């Protein structure tokens, strides 16, 4: 007998196997809905293009306006962070809600599965697919725009890894919130999605935000630093939030990527324990 | 004997006008009661169009350098496309508000079908002695009320946030166009509901169509900037007509469709034909599904 799991023995191997098996389950689920995969790609392309068209409407009209190219890059790369954040919040947080609605969440908790592997597997496949789709979407936009700036790709990818890891923490936390708030969590996820879109300037440069908003809100959000560093690194320009201190901003992003999943997971476990002791885990 | 007791496949039930209205009212009330439990959703719908309008406004100012240049550039671009909008803030706000109305109508119908499928109540609904048209009328009436609440509140909030005055133009006429555009939206909702019934992947289809809609409706820019083929396809889409009619009325712009009587004629035509076509499409898809695997499978 091992920690109430009957004959199952928890350990690294079991964690990995749980992760692999549940990722497979997510993959099988997604493979049943192939239109979702195509929709995701078209959606990414359309959103970027919609905002680029809007930017054109405000441009000077001169062909090859460098401002438009820079802003197109800011938008496109900012959008990449936005889509990863959105998917993390929705897929981790909301898949728990789906399990509640379907009535399978309690059964899952009665099985000897590792909870961390369970949470992580919900997002792994969709993140992998999103990465491919984002790369293809950016490529397509680059063709339409006549080339997007792309410097320091290696560093940009490293920052993206920390950024996604940080987002995972937020996703875990939202999974806990979903257990507690149930249907209302959907509103909260939407709210935070748009909150970060505006205050972490995912579709425009930080310079557009009013100074008080920038100083009292944006600068306090680690997501802002992740967005800023990722896109300015790829654009080959100094970061907007800490123009003179690139490495300090990198440290913030790295810490966000390391600390956030740990805190998020502890937050999730705390809510989950409370729900289990109150017997409300399966309620919806 | 059995044939006498069976009224159009509804068993012993004989729905008269009062019963039909009762069905519409009950469905409407049920949906309303459910959403009233989630007040945050209503608040979110009121704020979302303001965010959608805010994004291109902030982006535009950033691209142009300052607000004055942004206004001049936007005027020049839209004038080149046959309009010439001087107030880009109100232009964006109106576009995103109308988009929200259209999007909500589709979302709510799509999700209603999907949710009934997932919770296993869709088949039960088909077995109830109620006509589909009345159930759909109840759901669409609810979506209309919800969309109008979102439109009005977003307009008020957006006007305060962006410091624009939507009442400066012909607001009653614009509201009239919005109401006249609703039957066509119902028709599109029926088509959309049928699609969800058929392909089932509500989330992805809705999310994708949302952005296709934003593109086709000219939420942030007139559709006349598109190449000819895309432009005509976008202009044939009823929500584009509604958006343009409202925007040209409120902002005093030239409609891309021509003088006001042509716009009105097109809107009347859409209000008459699209719901009929939409409902017929829904019935055709439904018949086919019932013959194949049944409506309950998801």
Integer-rounded Cα radius of gyration of chain A: 20
Cβ partners under 8 Å of residue B84, min gap 6: B75, B78, B253, B254
- d(CA A143, CA B207) in angstroms, rounded, equals 24
Residue A93 is given by DSSP the state I
B77: Cα separation from own chain's centroid: 27
Asked if A205 has any chain B CB less than 8 Å from its own CB, the reply is yes
Weakest-pLDDT range from A8-12, A187-191, A220-224 = A8-12
With bands split at pLDDT 50, 70 and 90, how would you rate the model's confidence at A220?
very high
Indicate which of A58, A83, A130, A284 best probes the interface with B, i.e. most B CBs within 10 Å of its own CB. A58
A50 contacts on B by Cβ (under 8 Å): 211, 214-215, 219-220
More confident residue, A106 or A258: A258
B62 contacts on A by Cβ (under 8 Å): 71, 204-205, 207-208
More confident residue, A60 or B232: B232
Quick one: pLDDT at residue A7?
58
With bands split at pLDDT 50, 70 and 90, how would you rate the model's confidence at B4?
very low
Quick one: pLDDT at residue B217?
87
Q: Give B44-90 pLDDT, tens digit per residue.
A: 788 888 888 888 888 888 888 888 888 888 888 888 767 777 788 88
Q: Give A142-162 pLDDT, tens digit per residue.
A: 887 777 788 888 999 999 999
Indicate which of A51, A52, A57 best probes the interface with B, i.e. most B CBs within 10 Å of its own CB. A57
Q: Give B153-183 pLDDT, tens digit per residue.
A: 999 999 999 888 888 888 888 888 888 998 8
Please choose, from the candidates A78, A159, A63, A33, the residue with its C-alpha nearest in 3D space to the C-alpha of residue B62: A78
Mean pLDDT value across residues B280-294: 81
Residues 143-162 of A with CB under 8 A from B: none
A187 contacts on B by Cβ (under 8 Å): 38, 40-41, 43-44
B66 contacts on A by Cβ (under 8 Å): none
Mean pLDDT value across residues B234-242: 91
Tell me if A268 sits within 8 A of A172, measured CB to CB: yes
- Written as one string, the DSSP assignment of A256-275 is HHHHHHHHHHHHHHHHHHHH
- Does A136 have pLDDT greater than 60? yes
Q: B161 in the Ramachandran plot: left (φ > 0), alpha (ψ -120 to 50) or beta?
A: alpha
Tell me if A71 sits within 8 A of A55, measured CB to CB: yes
Tell me if A77 sits within 8 A of A234, measured CB to CB: yes
B59 contacts on A by Cβ (under 8 Å): 51, 54-55, 58, 71, 75, 203-204, 208
- d(CA B180, CA B188) in angstroms, rounded, equals 14
Indicate which of B63, B66, B92 best probes the interface with A, i.e. most A CBs within 10 Å of its own CB. B63
- DSSP helix, strand, coil percent of chain A (3-state; round to 5): 80, 0, 20
Please choose, from the candidates A80, A204, A199, the residue with its C-alpha nearest in 3D space to the C-alpha of residue B60: A204
Q: Give A168-179 pLDDT, tens digit per residue.
A: 898 888 888 887
- Written as one string, the DSSP assignment of B147-197 is HHHHHHHHHHHHHHHHT--GGGS-HHHHHHHHHHHHHHHHHHHHHHHHHHH
Nearest residue, CB atoms, A187 vs list B44, B60, B118: B44
3-state secondary structure string across B44-63: HHHHHHHHHHHHHHHHHHHH
A30 contacts on B by Cβ (under 8 Å): none
User: B201 and A33 in contact by Cβ < 8 A?
Assistant: yes
B176: Cα separation from own chain's centroid: 15
- Written as one string, the DSSP assignment of chain A is --TT-TT---SHHHHHHHHHHHHHHHHHHHHT-HHHHHHHHHHHHHHHHHHHHHHHHTS---TT-HHHHHHHHHHHHHHHHHHHHHHHIIIIIHHHHHHHHHT-HHHHHHS---HHHHHHHHHHHHHHHHHHHHHHHHHHHHHHHT------HHHHHHHHHHHHHHHHHHHHHHHHHHHHHGGGHHHHHHHHHHHHHHHTTSSS-GGGS-HHHHHHTGGG-HHHHHHHHHHHHHHTS--SSSTT-HHHHHHHHHHHHHHHHHHHHHHHHHHHHHHHHHT-TT--
- d(CA B57, CA A46) in angstroms, rounded, equals 19
Nearest residue, CB atoms, B204 vs list A36, A50, A68: A36
More confident residue, A230 or A67: A230
Tell me if B114 sits within 8 A of B202, measured CB to CB: yes
B46 contacts on A by Cβ (under 8 Å): none
Q: A8 in the Ramachandran plot: left (φ > 0), alpha (ψ -120 to 50) or beta?
A: beta
- d(CA B13, CA A264) in angstroms, rounded, equals 55
Tell me if B108 sits within 8 A of B142, measured CB to CB: yes
Asked if A208 has any chain B CB less than 8 Å from its own CB, the reply is yes
Weakest-pLDDT range from A121-130, A181-190, B228-237 = A181-190
Q: Cα–Cα–Cα angle for A133, A136, A139, nearest 5°?
A: 150
Average pLDDT for chain A: 82
CA distance B193 to chain A (A): 16
User: B62 and A102 in contact by Cβ < 8 A?
Assistant: no
Say what the ipTM of the complex is.
Answer: 0.75
List the domain boundaries for chain A: 12-278
With bands split at pLDDT 50, 70 and 90, how would you rate the model's confidence at A83?
confident
Residues 99-128 of B with CB under 8 A from A: 118-119
Quick one: pLDDT at residue A11?
75
User: B44 and A190 in contact by Cβ < 8 A?
Assistant: yes
């Amino acid at each position: 007998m091992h920690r109430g799991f009957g004959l199952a023995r928890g350990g690294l191997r079991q964690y990995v196997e749980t992760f692999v098996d549940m990722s497979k389950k997510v993959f099988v689920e997604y493979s049943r809905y192939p239109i979702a995969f195509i929709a995701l790609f078209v959606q990414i392309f359309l959103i970027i293009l919609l905002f680029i068209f809007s930017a054109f409407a405000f441009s000077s009209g001169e062909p090859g306006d460098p401002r438009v190219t820079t802003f197109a890059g800011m938008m496109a790369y900012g959008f990449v962070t936005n889509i990863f954040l959105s998917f993390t919040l929705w897929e981790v947080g909301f898949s728990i809600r789906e399990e509640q609605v379907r009535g399978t969440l309690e059964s899952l908790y009665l099985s000897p599965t590792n909870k961390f592997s369970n949470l992580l597997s919900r997002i792994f496949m969709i993140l992998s697919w999103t990465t491919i789709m984002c790369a293809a979407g950016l490529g397509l936009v680059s063709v339409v725009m006549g080339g997007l700036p792309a410097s320091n790709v290696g560093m940009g990818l490293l920052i993206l890894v920390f950024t996604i890891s940080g987002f995972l923490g937020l996703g875990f936390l939202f999974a806990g919130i979903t257990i507690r708030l149930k249907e209302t969590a959907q509103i909260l996820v939407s709210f935070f999605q748009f909150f970060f879109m505006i205050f972490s300037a995912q579709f425009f440069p930080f310079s557009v935000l009013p100074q008080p908003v920038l100083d009292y809100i944006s600068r306090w959000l680690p997501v802002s630093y992740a967005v800023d560093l990722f896109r300015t690194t790829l654009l080959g320009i100094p970061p907007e939030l800490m123009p003179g201190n690139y490495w300090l901003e990198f440290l913030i992003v790295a810490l966000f990527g390391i600390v956030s999943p740990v805190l998020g997971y502890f937050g999730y476990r705390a809510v989950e324990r409370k729900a289990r002791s109150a017997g409300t885990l399966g309620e919806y | 004997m059995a044939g006498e007791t069976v009224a159009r496949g509804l068993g012993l039930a004989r729905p008269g006008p009062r019963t039909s209205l009762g069905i519409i009212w009950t469905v409407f009330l049920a949906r309303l009661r459910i959403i009233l439990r989630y007040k945050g959703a209503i608040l979110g719908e009121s704020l979302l169009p303001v965010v959608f309008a805010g994004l291109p406004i902030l982006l535009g100012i950033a691209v142009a350098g300052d607000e004055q240049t942004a206004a001049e550039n936007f005027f020049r671009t839209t004038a080149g496309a046959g309009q010439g909008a001087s107030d880009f803030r109100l232009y964006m706000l109106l576009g995103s508000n109308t988009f929200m109305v259209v999007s909500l109508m589709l979302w709510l119908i799509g999700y209603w079908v999907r949710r009934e499928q997932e919770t296993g109540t869709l088949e039960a609904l088909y077995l109830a002695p109620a006509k589909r048209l009345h159930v759909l009328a109840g759901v669409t009436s609810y979506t209309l009320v919800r969309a109008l609440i979102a439109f009005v509140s977003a307009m008020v909030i957006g006007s305060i946030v962006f410091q624009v005055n939507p009442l400066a133009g012909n607001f009653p006429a614009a509201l009239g166009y919005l109401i006249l555009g609703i039957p066509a939206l119902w028709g599109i909702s029926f088509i959309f509901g049928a699609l969800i019934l058929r392909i089932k992947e509500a989330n992805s289809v809705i999310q994708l169509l949302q952005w296709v809609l934003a593109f086709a409706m000219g939420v942030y820019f007139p559709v006349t900037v598109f190449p000819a083929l895309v432009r005509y396809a976008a202009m044939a889409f009823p929500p584009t007509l509604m958006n343009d009619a409202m925007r040209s009325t409120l902002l005093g712009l030239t409609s891309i469709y021509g003088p006001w009587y042509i716009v009105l004629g097109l809107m009347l035509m859409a209000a008459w034909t699209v719901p009929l076509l939409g409902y017929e499409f829904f019935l055709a898809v439904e018949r086919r599904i019932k013959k194949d695997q049944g409506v309950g499978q998801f």
